[in-house]
Amino acid sequence: MRIVDTIRRKRDGARLSDGELRDFVAGVTRGDIPDYQISALLMAIFLRGLDSGELGVLTDAMLHSGRVLDFSDLSGAKVDKHSTGGVGDKISIALAPAVAACGVRVPMISGRGLGHSGGTLDKLESIPGFRTDLDAAKFRSLLGTLGLVLAGQSDDLAPADRRLYALRDVTGTIESIPLIAASIMSKKLAEGIDALVLDVKVGGGAFMKTAERARELARTLVGIGKAAGKQVTAFMTDMNQPIGHAVGNFNEVYEAVDVLRGSGPADTRELTVTLGAEMLRLGHAVDDAAAGRARMERALDSGEALECFLRLVTAQGGDESVFTREPRYAPHQQTITAPRSGHVTTIDAEAIGVAAVMAGAGRARKEDRIDPTVALFVHARIGDRVQAGSALATLHTATAEPGIAHRIAGAFAIGDAPQAAPRLVQETIS
């Protein structure tokens, strides 16, 4: 079958055969299908879709396009968590060590910031000396000894996804549920895990803006995982405002460490406990979610989770002493204040994320450098009652950035009527 015939068939709404999908991924991996044919097929898939059978084969071919990790020789279950991305989402940083402290191994491979949304790798690298580019031996060794490793994707893991993703970014084919799902699951299933907990963000600061789209993505991800023989649970969680207060990099790590110290913002702790309880359950460390919650809370409150995190920081080359002193942020501090009294009705979380990127906490282009000292703190949350002139947010930047502060101010809507806070965990799909 020539690739042009595969393109034509998908274009006309046909179901692609297993052979067509595997030939496509093999050609992408070898680099012998030209970009223009790949992008034509991606657009046809975007507009015509893939059924669950096609999607399973596509994902399987992508995950086998490179090395597939195998940790079956290490005792116990290996469980990971993946978030679809939001603003202020530092959950992995507290979650992974807490779960590891409870006896479930976490081989976590994270990504970089994308658009308005931050990335766990970028946040971890704001810890002085911390390395995320681990080789396979180091990765395995940390998972064996600490039960935890936090690394970036190596080049030989799902290489077909890397090429497809780069093309999707420039050809308007990002926002396709099957393509998103195949990209996420091909990487996660190559990690050698037994189970996966998914945090599918929904709302203004998420890539999925509506519950309907988020639910479809969650179901698609769970379906692929189950078809591959893995235990998968997806939580649909609110992304209509940043998680916690910190948006940036080192300030987000520091807030996650607050959670590891048994404190931290309520929503950040709650999401860590909820996701962790399910990871423990899927990893057979507890019998049910209630026991999982109790175990997670104990790990956070006892210091076990923090100890695991600090060991990992040291093992990955980071300077753990930064957590023993108050962090220092960029010198220019601007306070964004409420223009009137009332109730915070909405926060444009995507605008907050974009403002943080503009301030230097993320990348507008791939080659941009992140300034780890840039920090935004969002004090007000949806439903809060605020007084005119009270602080809504504080921005720390290297130079004065009145335009960015103005953008952040514009992200808050204040009204007269009381407003209920959004529910953090909206649905559970498994």
Which residues sit at the interface with a second copy, rule CB under 8 A?
A: 4-5, 7-8, 11, 34-40, 42-44, 46-48, 167, 170-173
Q: Token pair for residue 386?
A: 């605020």
Rounded Cα–Cα distance for residues 416 and 230 (Å): 48
Nearer to a second copy, 5 or 319 (CB): 5
CB of 10 to a second copy, least distance (A): 8
CA separation for the pair 10, 1 (Å, rounded)? 13
**Catalytic site includes residue 390:** no
Among candidate residues 83, 110, 176, 183, the one labeled active-site is: 183
Nearer to a second copy, 35 or 427 (CB): 35
Q: In Å, how far are 16, 63, 101, 137 from 145, measured between CA atoms?
A: 44, 26, 12, 12
Give the residue from 376, 361, 387 showing the smallest Cα distance to 411.
Answer: 376
* Shortest distance (Å) from residue 42 CB to a second copy: 7
**Residue (6 or 240) nearer to a second copy, CB:** 6
Q: Per the residue annotation, which of 10, 78, 112, 168 is the catalytic one? A: 168
Could you give the angle at the alpha carbon of 261 between the alpha carbons of 258 and 267, nearest 5°? 50
Closest CA to 376 of 242, 257, 271: 242
183 among known catalytic residues: yes
Residue 4 vs 266, nearer CB to a second copy = 4
Residue whose token pair is 């207060």 = 245
Burial (CB count within 10 angstroms: exposed 0-12, middle 13-18, buried 19+), residue 83: buried
Q: 332 and 313 in contact (C-beta within 8 Å)?
A: no
Q: Which of 82, 162, 215, 230 is catalytic?
A: 82
Name the residue among 265, 338, 263 with its Cα closest to residue 88.
265
| The two structure tokens encoding residue 264 | 């931290």
CB of 171 vs a second copy, minimal distance in Å: 4
Rounded to a whole number of angstroms, the minimum distance from the CB of residue 44 to a second copy is 6
Whether 155 sits among the annotated catalytic residues: the reply is no
Supply the minimum distance, in Å, between the C-beta of residue 2 and a second copy: 9
**Closest approach of Cβ 285 to a second copy, in Å?**
44
Catalytic residue among 23, 60, 122, 161: 161
Active site residue 161: yes
Q: Examine the residue annotation and report whether 110 is marked as an active-site residue of this protein.
A: no
**Tell me, what DSSP letter sits at residue 191?**
T
C-beta closer to a second copy: residue 9 or 187? 9
If the CB atoms of residues 12 and 73 are measured against a second copy, the closer one turns out to be 12
Contact 122, 249 (CB under 8 A): yes
What are the φ/ψ torsions at residue 68 (nearest 5 degrees)?
-110, 120
- How many residues are listed for the chain in this entry? 430
Q: Which residues are catalytic?
A: 82, 161, 168, 183, 187
